Structure 1
């Protein structure tokens, strides 16, 4: 069943300044809420999300669970913004195809919002609303090495978030099934976006510690949704294997370790399901 009134995720450039500030304020709020205490090193509710990603990294990257788990992870983040911090707007996604090869020119990376990308030495982000927020989880699997938010922009990498790359992954002659498209997406615009932002975002385990992670994964989920919209069968079937070689089916479980309830793939394959209940503005 589909929900009656799906939330509409709106592209960053059409999102009002008031909405942008509400979104960032809600993230900052989550970064000031006490941790559940479940994860070593996590000091805040935001850290809990980073630590969950860190812990599950091998299970949810490099296999067919990647897009599915991250879809539910981003939704879980959204629910925490709403339940913990009173966020009441639509979620923004960022169309990286418009900014491929020039991420630093987007207002996302302005001092007004997420702070600069341009530090080529991978130094601490000097401005923006997250410049002073300590990163408590990572690097890698570390849980006791607080450090600053770092980026190391590389336009030669971010140029590969363009429409050509996205469309190539959706070419059924080359990538005929879900698992093929998902692997292309993960190794394509997904990887190039992460590594082209660099620093914390280039750390597979702890990348959600950079709040830009959410905008990037909203873009990746948007592309997944566009692929699904091209053929209605794609919201009713999956294939591929998990990390351990088990076949992914509609009954395969996706785990959030109690931050939100675990769900079956069938609950989240369609973004307009009663569980997720969202779509994108384009």
Structure 2
């Protein structure tokens, strides 16, 4: 036993944690048939849940994020509003959202995106850990008072101050407002400046000087921590997502949400649990540092789903190459290229499918 998903006593294992543990023998058997040079269960990096990190480990992660926000941007020629290395990642997400959501590339591209961000924290800001994830179920009943959002030492900050607002009024996803909506005034990101966007805001935010959202538009980080959105991220939803959807098309469709049916997915629910600006903006959401913990959990859920049938699911992609097939495009394949713009080279999708040996062996990680 590798100790994966070993939670602190006040967070007992949920059904998804247990499923992950029970699935590890499948991964071990697959690796015995398909050895990956230098990547074994024992050698793989272990990404941990936020509350399973010590306070010192959480603070080290936060310090690395703040460090990245203080480094000069590489993307300023394409995104004049990008002022830091952190903004580089926001800019790339804005640029590539129409290609990498509700399309073939959603899951593999975000796997690459999160890994590259983790790599930047480690190589540019001396971070010695790995990207933590946010187990939605642990905090779903009371997210604002969780170790993520209570504003205490070792948290990712707090809710925003209360400002009257209408909540999320995106077609298909009406949601009552929470008790925030204003600037975050507590925690490590209380002085953070959001520079890019908005593109598709869920709050009334000063418009960007460029129609593409890539101009300079400095403002405070705003959050509206929302228990109504969190209610669709409990373990039963995630467990059903993994166990009841055997084809990648349905797994991804249910995960991302079905606005035409007014059905939320855990992807949508996680983003709007944070909500505000920029977390509530489909394009600019990486501008809130919570994005990375949320999408690490998205990647974890995909990893658990893949382990149920590795021979098939490590090679299973679906959908077309454009968001909701607008404009119409051909179906994507494992041989299509996916990259991070100026930040990282294009690679074939097949290189992003496995956490154990993908990206030429650079991917070698599990979720603990």
TM-score, normalised relative to structure 2: 0.73
Return the match for 2:303 from 222, 225, 238.
225
Name which of structure 1's ranges 182-191 and 24-33 shifts more when overlaid on structure 2.
Answer: 182-191
Cα displacement (A) at 1:146: 1.0
Structure 1 portions without partners, runs of 5+: none
* Alpha-carbon distance between aligned partners in 2 of 1:73 and 1:165, rounded to the nearest angstrom: 25
Return the match for 1:236 from 312, 315, 337.
315
Cα displacement (A) at 1:91: 2.2
Per-residue Cα deviation, 1:147-189 (whole angstroms, up to 9, x for no partner): 11000122011111111211222244xx331121012111211
1:234–1:163: structure 2 CA closer, same or farther, 3 Å change rule? same
Per-residue Cα deviation, 1:61-87 (whole angstroms, up to 9, x for no partner): 122311111111101111111121111
2:246 paired residue number:
176
Q: Please tell me whether Structure 1 or Structure 2 has the larger radius of gyration of its CA atoms.
A: 2
Cα displacement (A) at 1:121: 4.0
* Alpha-carbon distance between aligned partners in 1 of 2:127 and 2:254, rounded to the nearest angstrom: 33
Structure with greater proportional helix content: 1
* Alpha-carbon distance between aligned partners in 1 of 2:47 and 2:246, rounded to the nearest angstrom: 28
SS in 2 for 1:124: strand
Matches within 5 A, 1:17-36: 17-36=55-74
* Alpha-carbon distance between aligned partners in 2 of 1:76 and 1:90, rounded to the nearest angstrom: 11
* Alpha-carbon distance between aligned partners in 2 of 1:121 and 1:18, rounded to the nearest angstrom: 28
* Alpha-carbon distance between aligned partners in 1 of 2:131 and 2:71, rounded to the nearest angstrom: 20
> Stretches of 4+ moved more than 3 A in 1?
none
* Alpha-carbon distance between aligned partners in 2 of 1:202 and 1:52, rounded to the nearest angstrom: 17
1:204 and 2:242 are equivalent in the alignment:
no
SS in 2 for 1:246: coil
Structure 2 portions without partners, runs of 5+: 1-34, 162-178, 200-211, 258-264, 323-327
Name which of structure 1's ranges 177-186 and 25-34 shifts more when overlaid on structure 2.
Answer: 177-186
* Alpha-carbon distance between aligned partners in 1 of 2:51 and 2:332, rounded to the nearest angstrom: 36
Cα root mean square deviation, aligned = 1.5
Corresponding pairs, count: 279
TM-score, normalised relative to structure 1: 0.94
